[in-house]
Chains A and B, each alone.
Chain A
């Protein structure tokens, strides 16, 4: 517009008047990036808000850019993000742990219910009968519906662009399934000669329903098990529209390369919805019961253990007491014994003392007796009886003789006390006048007479023996040259 000769410019001015300048200003604004940026900056927030209120396309369009920007930013400076997230991480983690714990309890309860309830046994039987896994049968029985698979199919060729499946779903080769789905549609459309614009929207087989949403370039197929809720076709439609909006250029350029559609996985995954049968939310009785039983059993065992310990302790104490008692008894016995012993000892010592005393007395007596004996012996041995010359008569009343007899009796008595018997040898002597024979006979006679006299005077006959001192074999000490008798005392 600006190009041209001055005349042409003049002509334009004449034709457009003031508007021409405005047009030029507007053109300049678009051509100069800083001016254009300034004008866009004025309205960009409002424009975004406005579009955001209309549909979700803004989020879809911005999501990859924002994701990239965030990734880049975190890679560049992770600490900043850590600092920013710090205040929210703590509570989030706590919440997560709480939830995990309660879920664990719930899971335990479910496991118990599944393994104990009658219903679960029925399912097990069904699983066994049908050759399926128990998990699958249980899932099928508790699900209202589940979107098992979602296919994004190129409409023209029936080639599979993207596919997602729920974890429990059994899916055969999706590329072939995708082809067959297309073939089936072609077959139906062709066989029943319906209007070319009509499309197959639903396939149904038993519990399975395949929902189909046809876009200009692609077909979105959703395999649903169970009762299809009313909002599912809407979701399918929205997703199909979304994909067409975002991937329009990719569809146009499609030559068999499916890489351009890798990112549709997230959109398809959003369709994998499911709903469990509304089970009346009950407290996890079974789990609690099992836990309580465990706790109860544990406490009972503990109680028993302590009881046993206490019993053992009591028994030990009792045994100790018994031992103590026994010991006390023993002690008492010992004390009794001791006192008895002491008594015995006392008695013994008394007896000993008595014996000692007796012995002492006896000894004293013996000593006295010995002294008496000795004295009496001396008296006897010292005594003599004078005979007249040539005669052997003994006067019975002679005081000396009486005295001698008395002394001898005393000696016998004293000797008895010492347990001995005295024997008194009476040796008769004669002087040298006369012959030896006569003297010997005279001496013998004198001894015998004296003995007889003593026996008559009361001296026991066994205690006195008479013989002649002149007799051969007699000790010389007894031989005296006098008319007398001498005595010698022997104790047996």
Chain B
């Protein structure tokens, strides 16, 4: 059994908790409940014949990224930065968080998740925003926790990185 700690980061209300809830419990709720501090979930799966247990830290989104408690990030094997496609601000926060994590923890496998793909007509994040993200060299995937689109893919994209360049 291999255990990995991963963190979901991002601005508030981008859908971190919803993505985890969809991934772990196959549930989605329209109701918004803000996460206080941190919430931890577990997802067990088999990848390439290996039993894998993901300990998913759902870290409360903050407006001011500098306030993210870096202590929560210790020991993580990778992270997912969630961006709300309908909010330009969440994209800016994502970039800041990415920079901050690199400074505090170092280069780690990560994935950018462009959430709320079900509301694509209202998106403020477009191709010109996405291209710089792709230049970081990490997967950038569109997701919808509501429609269960690409949710498992973001976690799988992270797991694959451990197989290749991170142990």
Kindly state the separation between the CA atoms of A389 and B143 in the bound complex, as whole angstroms: 200
Q: Is the CB of A256 within 8 A of B77?
A: yes
Q: Which of the candidate stretches B1-9, B80-88, B120-128 sits at the interface with the other chain?
A: B1-9
Kindly state the separation between the CA atoms of A476 and B10 in the bound complex, as whole angstroms: 188
Within the complex, the shortest CB–CB distance from A87 to chain B, in Å, comes to 45
Q: Is the CB of A259 within 8 A of B77?
A: no
Using Cβ atoms and an 8 Å threshold, which residues of chain A touch B53? 175
Return the CB mask of B36-64 against A: 1 if under 8 Å, else 0. 01101110000000000101010000000
B53 to chain A: closest residue by CB = A175
Q: Is the CB of A175 within 8 A of B42?
A: yes
Within residues 247 to 290 of chain A, which ones have a CB less than 8 A from any CB in chain B?
255-259
Q: Is the CB of B41 within 8 A of A176?
A: yes
> Interface centre among A154, A160, A176, A183, by most B CB within 10 Å?
A183
Q: Is the CB of A183 within 8 A of B38?
A: yes
Q: Which of the candidate stretches A97-105, A184-192, A326-334, A443-451 sits at the interface with the other chain?
A: A184-192
Given contacts A175-B53, A186-B72, A190-B69, whether A258 and B1 have CB atoms under 8 Å apart is yes
Q: Is the CB of A156 within 8 A of B74?
A: yes
Q: Is the CB of A159 within 8 A of B40?
A: no
Within the complex, the shortest CB–CB distance from B25 to chain A, in Å, comes to 13
Q: Is the CB of A179 within 8 A of B57?
A: yes
Using Cβ atoms and an 8 Å threshold, which residues of chain B touch A158? 5, 55, 74-75
Q: Is the CB of A159 within 8 A of B75?
A: yes
Within the complex, the shortest CB–CB distance from A159 to chain B, in Å, comes to 4
Kindly state the separation between the CA atoms of A212 and B76 in the bound complex, as whole angstroms: 21
Kindly state the separation between the CA atoms of A157 and B37 in the bound complex, as whole angstroms: 17
Given contacts A183-B57, A187-B38, whether A160 and B74 have CB atoms under 8 Å apart is no
Q: Is the CB of A157 within 8 A of B75?
A: yes
Q: Is the CB of B40 within 8 A of A180?
A: yes
- Dominant SS among interface residues on chain A: mixed
* Other-chain residue from B2, B41, B72, B77 in contact with A183 (beta carbon distance below 8 A): B72
Q: Is the CB of B69 within 8 A of A179?
A: no
Return the CB mask of A9-52 against B: 1 if under 8 Å, else 0. 00000000000000000000000000000000000000000000
Within residues 132 to 170 of chain A, which ones have a CB less than 8 A from any CB in chain B?
154-160
* Other-chain residue from B42, B69, B75 in contact with A156 (beta carbon distance below 8 A): B75
B30 within 8 A of A: no
Within the complex, the shortest CB–CB distance from A406 to chain B, in Å, comes to 167
B33 within 8 A of A: no
Interface band, chain A: 20 to 34
* Other-chain residue from B3, B71, B72, B75 in contact with A175 (beta carbon distance below 8 A): B3
Within residues 412 to 447 of chain A, which ones have a CB less than 8 A from any CB in chain B?
none
Kindly state the separation between the CA atoms of A190 and B69 in the bound complex, as whole angstroms: 7
A397 within 8 A of B: no
Given contacts A156-B75, A157-B76, whether A257 and B55 have CB atoms under 8 Å apart is no
Within the complex, the shortest CB–CB distance from A183 to chain B, in Å, comes to 5
Within the complex, the shortest CB–CB distance from B78 to chain A, in Å, comes to 11
A257 to chain B: closest residue by CB = B2
Kindly state the separation between the CA atoms of A337 and B136 in the bound complex, as whole angstroms: 141
Return the CB mask of A333-377 against B: 1 if under 8 Å, else 0. 000000000000000000000000000000000000000000000
A173 within 8 A of B: yes
Kindly state the separation between the CA atoms of A158 and B3 in the bound complex, as whole angstroms: 10
Q: Is the CB of A256 within 8 A of B37?
A: no
A185 to chain B: closest residue by CB = B71
Given contacts A173-B42, A175-B42, whether A186 and B75 have CB atoms under 8 Å apart is no
Q: Is the CB of B4 within 8 A of A183?
A: no
Given contacts A175-B53, A183-B57, whether A190 and B5 have CB atoms under 8 Å apart is no
Given contacts A176-B42, A179-B55, whether A256 and B72 have CB atoms under 8 Å apart is no
Given contacts A159-B5, A179-B5, whether A189 and B71 have CB atoms under 8 Å apart is yes
Within the complex, the shortest CB–CB distance from B129 to chain A, in Å, comes to 32
> Interface centre among A159, A160, A176, by most B CB within 10 Å?
A159
Within the complex, the shortest CB–CB distance from B75 to chain A, in Å, comes to 3
Q: Is the CB of A157 within 8 A of B77?
A: yes
Within the complex, the shortest CB–CB distance from A181 to chain B, in Å, comes to 10
Q: Is the CB of B5 within 8 A of A157?
A: yes
Within the complex, the shortest CB–CB distance from A381 to chain B, in Å, comes to 164
Q: Is the CB of B74 within 8 A of A186?
A: yes
Within residues 56 to 115 of chain B, which ones have a CB less than 8 A from any CB in chain A?
57, 69, 71-72, 74-77
B41 to chain A: closest residue by CB = A176
Q: Is the CB of A186 within 8 A of B71?
A: yes
Kindly state the separation between the CA atoms of A160 and B76 in the bound complex, as whole angstroms: 13
Using Cβ atoms and an 8 Å threshold, which residues of chain B touch A255? 2, 167
Given contacts A157-B77, A183-B72, 10 further A-B contacts (CB under 8 A): A157-B55, A159-B75, A160-B3, A176-B55, A179-B5, A183-B38, A186-B69, A186-B72, A187-B38, A259-B1
A-B contact pairs, 12 of them (CB 8 A): A157-B5, A158-B5, A159-B3, A160-B3, A173-B42, A180-B38, A180-B40, A256-B2, A256-B4, A256-B77, A257-B2, A258-B3
